[in-house]
Amino acid sequence: PATAPAGITPIASGDTLRVAIQISGSDIPAGDGWCDFDANLAASNTNCYSASRTKDIVQTATCNNCHGPTSDTKLALHGGGRTEVEYCVTCHNPFTTDAQTGNVLDFSVMIHKIHYGRNLANGYQISGFNNVVSDYSHVAFTKDVDHCAVCHTGSGADVHNWYMVPTMQACGACHDDVNFATGANHGSGGVQTTNGNCAVCHPPTGPFPPPGLAPQPIQTVHLGTARNAEGALYAGGANGYKIDSVSYASSSGVLTIDYHVTRNGSNMTLESAPQWACTSPPKAPAIAGCAGAAGSSRLAAVVGFPTSDYTNAGSGSNPAQPISVNALDVGGSVTALGGGLYRTTATLPSGTSGSAAVALEGHPAADLNGDGILSDRISVRSSVSFASLGTGRAAGVEPRRQVVDAAKCNGCHDAAGNGMSFHGNNRTGTEQVCVICHNANATDVNQRPAPPTTGVDGKAEVPIDLKRMIHQIHSGADLHDPLIVYGFGHSVNDFSHIHYIGNRRNCETCHRPGTYGTEHAFDALPTTVDTEADKASSTDDLNISPVASVCSSCHDSEAAITHMKLFGASFHALDADIN
């Protein structure tokens, strides 16, 4: 109408409007629809999707890379009925606030704050339906949070607004310690009352600036752009880590590993390339750029065995951890073969049989902000190769079951464009490297304080078996017994706040088809929950039977565990006593 209630600006001819509709209820598939048009006050408005003004920045399909990676799951909020970004923004507009907390609910502010949660100076909470408070202050984004193009991508007409049209609202959502009204923490930008000057100091791109000085180019100072560009030099074609051959001499028990690393089409000289100089401790003589960057460079050859289901028995790294060789120790345990090719060896325990896996893992260093310090770790996809301990070659390898599709993991988890990356950017891109350490006999006992009552959960150890731990992590907030894992340097990793953003009932969100039924777990090893006195041997370990280990990782209530026991599951039993 051309007239409107008092205080509301009337619609004028040519104003761009959106009409949106939602359908949902019971088991009806939810869906949203919308129509954008320029208002015509003289005739019927019948021409949908004809609006002259647009704001098409983020695509729902991009959100669903994480929130709905399978055909029957998708972004679905507020009871499941709101499934499209175009519908979300009709309510989450610049004039929407939370009545209880006073926090802004504008989409461009709210979404940035939610995904940046634990990095915020002031946290972020929303009081929703029935005044239920949702606290996003613990949220950790599972991709490079400073790589804005992770979300701002696709075919939207305004997809480049994130760097072409900076605003106090969008930028201040993450940089929430900046007070534009007073100029606090805004460097030389000082007080700003409108968005008119933003692009003057924050152009789309340009050289990296000195700290606190303008201009601050948006794509440059968000290091995710540079990180992904550097990561791409180790990916694609023949680039990255490559294990050329693995051979085994049964007479000596020596496994010989040949390998190389290629960056941007050229084999790297590991003993002199600056990307590999910032080891811990640093190489001598120190290469310029490594001062203050010790540990930014690491490359290791990790050997696990047997490949049917890793136990790493006799490795000397207990409980159940693999053999690890410093692949940068050229002139020591590593021999340079020339042309950027290298060889190292590992001696397997006497009596080891079956087949072994070798993983090349680690991270080169980089200087992403141009400060002359190689302090940035670049995630590079791990390489995994196998050798039979009978034939001495790849022939005859007994493969470990493959139940997870790493490509599905990488849809949600990514670093430097090379996929999921954990443990300080060391293990990247493939689940095959994860299971070598996260096997059925492994726990976090070595990282726990002693006595265990000094730990935050009072436990002596917790299983880190992948088939159990990953389910527990993704079920975090729904568990009766919260999962706390002690990691490197005795760090405490509390997963009790994790809310999985997909559909946990759809196992194929992560799993390969036909690999996750109970019948597929009978051949798996039981999960160690107590390594007992002899950490080098699994014979005295107390375990959970393999099927129950998986099921109880999500269904961990007393009633659920009692049900499992009634049907033959074992908890805290010796391996020899498990059927």
Residue 98 has a pLDDT of: 94
Mean pLDDT for the stretch of residues 134-160: 94
Provide DSSP, 501-515: SS-TT-GGGTBPTT-
Answer yes or no: are the C-beta atoms of 516 and 524 closer than 8 Å: no
Residue 285 has a pLDDT of: 63
Mean pLDDT for the stretch of residues 544-563: 96
Dihedral angle of Cα 378, 476, 575, 386, to the nearest 10 degrees: -20
Mean pLDDT for the stretch of residues 127-132: 89
Residue 72 has a pLDDT of: 56
Answer yes or no: are the C-beta atoms of 353 and 387 closer than 8 Å: no
Higher-confidence position of 519 and 319: 319
Mean pLDDT for the stretch of residues 545-556: 96
User: In Å, how far are 184, 187, 216, 343, 483 from 210, measured between CA atoms?
Assistant: 19, 12, 9, 43, 43
Residue range 345-380, pLDDT digits in tens: 999 999 999 999 999 999 999 999 989 999 999 999
Share of the chain above pLDDT 70, in %: 98
As to burial, measured by CB atoms within 10 angstroms (0-12 exposed, 13-18 middle, 19+ buried), residue 512 is: middle
Residue 478 has a pLDDT of: 95
Q: What is the mean pLDDT of the chain?
A: 92
**Phi, psi of 529, deg, nearest 5:** -115, -15
Residue range 16-72, pLDDT digits in tens: 999 999 988 877 778 899 999 999 988 888 888 889 998 899 999 999 888 875 555
Residue 393 has a pLDDT of: 73
User: Residue 181 carries which DSSP code?
Assistant: T
Nearest to 325 by CA among 419, 258, 235, 371: 258
Residue 3 has a pLDDT of: 75
Check pLDDT > 60 for residue 517.
yes
Residue 304 tokens, joined: 């696990």
> Does the global pTM surpass 0.85?
yes
Residue 579 has a pLDDT of: 74
Residue 70 has a pLDDT of: 53
Check pLDDT > 90 for residue 521.
no
The helix/strand/coil state of 6 is coil
Least confident of 75-79, 295-299, 311-315: 75-79
Check pLDDT > 80 for residue 396.
no
Residue 4 tokens, joined: 């409107």
Residue 69 has a pLDDT of: 53
As to burial, measured by CB atoms within 10 angstroms (0-12 exposed, 13-18 middle, 19+ buried), residue 358 is: buried
User: In Å, how far are 1, 55, 118, 546 from 50, measured between CA atoms?
Assistant: 20, 13, 40, 58
**From the CA atom positions of the chain, what is the Rg in Å?**
27
User: In Å, how far are 140, 210, 314 from 292, measured between CA atoms?
Assistant: 26, 19, 37
Residue range 423-470, pLDDT digits in tens: 999 999 999 999 999 999 999 999 998 887 888 999 999 999 999 999
Check pLDDT > 90 for residue 148.
yes
Mean pLDDT for the stretch of residues 254-280: 96
Nearest to 489 by CA among 426, 442, 447, 446: 447
CA torsion sign for 287, 288, 294, 299 is negative
Check pLDDT > 70 for residue 150.
yes
Residue 1 has a pLDDT of: 60
The helix/strand/coil state of 287 is coil
Mean pLDDT for the stretch of residues 406-430: 95
CA 400 to chain centroid, in Å, comes to: 24
